[in-house]
């Protein structure tokens, strides 16, 4: 991706926000150039190219004016003599708050790299709880850093790639930014396991022509079937990232040749009623695979994602995964939470629907803030960002999603804090289990409580989620049992 210059940046921003005055954007561009002066990156390029690249990603994601300005200025407080007071005087409190949220802490305050990393994440997440745009700027920053890793030492490349694949990519996933997640994963995969990346890339490329021919034929047959409905639609191919294929190989312990990876298409239409109508046509024309249908429109994922998912048998017996969604759902699936700023550019009132959807993120961040040990904080962060989840049923049939490896205690605290605090036992599928039992998708879990029962210190040894850990630790600290 080539970073945009000032005129290109203004032009691209104005294309989706035509009524917003771009004078502040021009001012931020010029201010950042002057502030960074003759600073250079490890590549030898002028440092400001990085700021332009971050702003370019933010404009690609159609973020609002303060966010794009903060992207241009995001390293000014950290790397130049400019103070927060001076920035506030020039750009106001909102932009300065965003830049401060992205700015790392001073390293000399902490005794180890783990402490530094944990405190930086803690600070950034605390700022994110106040304004989600902080993490979106940070993700744009990390994307360009990953794209220019080759100029750093091998040790730096490994460390940054590991942090990207274990923290940043999962965070992009949790925010629904699937396109970015796949890009970050593949950039990190290339650095962490270069030979595996090279081998897999060659195998995928060798198979590409055959897959594209099969996909083209299937799309033509779908197009023919859907044309008769006269419903508005467009059909897109869907390609998987190399790292997602590699992950599947690892989980199934199979070589690439044995991975039954279905072809994928997306059908984009205008409204929800048309989504279901098109699904009916697809199922009439092509044999659906039993048990493959999932309705994420009526029950959206926590990260705002919505689509109808089904797998059908193609004309030549090939399996094809189909996702059916509206244009707005498609924007959300590509850009996640970032997509919602497209409809609130400028000084419009906050999107109440978005605010409600962000409550899970704020609550999760609040729990993480309660963890005092840097190592415990990072471990909990990685656990809660884990893409692999299990889906557990309450006896009443309600579904709760938890990180893989979660226990009945984690489930109890997910249902309600009071149930977790008074938990004395659990039944899974009508059988008594220990509280450290690892739950599996589809389990029905019943929590047994007793009035007056309280959390135990040894619970901290096996709970997985930040919420359970935070609530247990808070109670034990209050009673003077832990520091």
Catalytic site residues? 78-79
Structure-token pair, residue 218: 């299937």
Q: In terms of C-beta density within 10 A (0-12 exposed, 13-18 middle, 19 or more buried), how is residue 175 classed?
A: buried
Query: Which residues 6+ apart lie within 8 Å of 66 measured at CB?
Result: 94, 95, 98, 133
Between CA 324 and CA 182, with CA 177 as vertex, the angle to 5 degrees is: 95
CA distance 266 to 276: 14
DSSP 8-state symbol, 46? B
Judge whether 233 and 330 are in contact, CB under 8 Å. Answer: no
Longest CA–CA separation in the chain, Å: 71
CA distance 109 to 115: 9
CA distance 466 to 361: 12
Secondary structure E strands in 187-335: 233-237, 263-269, 294-295, 308-313, 319-326
252, 359, 344, 351: which is closest to 302 by C-alpha?
Answer: 359
Query: Which residues 6+ apart lie within 8 Å of 159 measured at CB?
Result: none
CA distance 62 to 126: 24
Residue 186 burial (CB count, 10 A): 19
């Amino acid at each position: 991706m080539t970073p945009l210059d000032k005129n290109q940046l203004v032009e691209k921003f104005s294309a989706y926000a035509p009524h917003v005055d771009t004078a502040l954007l021009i001012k931020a561009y010029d201010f950042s150039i002057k502030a960074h002066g003759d600073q250079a990156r490890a590549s030898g390029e002028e440092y400001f190219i990085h700021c332009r690249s971050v702003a370019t990603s933010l404009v690609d994601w159609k973020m609002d004016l303060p966010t794009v300005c903060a992207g241009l200025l995001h390293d000014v407080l950290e790397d130049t003599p400019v103070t927060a007071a001076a920035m506030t005087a020039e750009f106001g409190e909102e932009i300065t708050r965003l830049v401060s949220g992205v700015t790392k802490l001073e390293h000399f305050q902490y005794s180890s790299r783990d402490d530094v990393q944990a405190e930086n994440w803690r600070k950034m997440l605390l700022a994110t709880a106040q304004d989600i745009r902080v993490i979106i700027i940070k993700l744009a920053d990390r994307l360009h850093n990953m794209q220019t890793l080759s100029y750093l030492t091998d040790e730096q490349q490994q460390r940054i790639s590991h942090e990207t694949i274990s923290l940043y990519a999962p965070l992009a996933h949790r925010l629904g930014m699937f396109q970015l997640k796949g890009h970050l994963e593949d950039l990190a995969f290339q650095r962490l396991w270069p030979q595996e990346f090279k081998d897999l890339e060659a195998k995928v490329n060798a198979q590409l022509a055959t897959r594209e021919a099969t996909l083209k034929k299937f799309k033509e047959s779908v197009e023919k079937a859907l044309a008769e409905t006269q419903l508005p639609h467009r059909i897109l191919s869907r390609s998987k990232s190399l790292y997602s294929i590699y992950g599947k190989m690892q989980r199934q312990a199979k070589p690439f040749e044995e991975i039954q990876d279905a072809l994928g298409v997306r059908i984009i239409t205008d409204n929800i009623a048309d989504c279901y109508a098109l699904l009916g046509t697809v199922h009439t024309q092509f044999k659906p695979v039993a048990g493959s249908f999932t309705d994420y429109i009526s029950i959206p994922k926590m990260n705002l994602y919505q689509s109808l998912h089904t797998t059908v048998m193609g004309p030549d017996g090939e399996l094809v995964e189909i996702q059916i969604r509206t244009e707005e759902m498609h924007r959300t699936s590509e850009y996640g939470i970032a997509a919602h700023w497209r409809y609130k550019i400028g000084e419009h009132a906050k999107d109440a629907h978005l605010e409600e959807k962000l409550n899970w993120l704020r609550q999760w961040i609040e729990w993480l803030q309660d963890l005092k040990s840097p190592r415990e904080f990072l471990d909990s962060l990685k656990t809660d960002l884990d893409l692999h989840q299990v889906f557990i049923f309450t006896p009443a049939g309600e579904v709760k999603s938890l990180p893989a490896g979660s226990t009945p205690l984690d489930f109890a605290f997910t249902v309600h804090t009071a149930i977790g605090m008074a938990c004395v036992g659990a039944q899974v599928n009508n059988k008594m289990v220990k509280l450290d039992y690892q739950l599996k998708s589809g389990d029905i879990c019943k929590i047994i409580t007793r009035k007056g029962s309280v959390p135990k210190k040894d619970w901290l040894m096996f709970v997985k989620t930040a919420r359970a850990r935070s609530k247990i630790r808070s109670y034990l600290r209050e009673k003077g049992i832990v520091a």
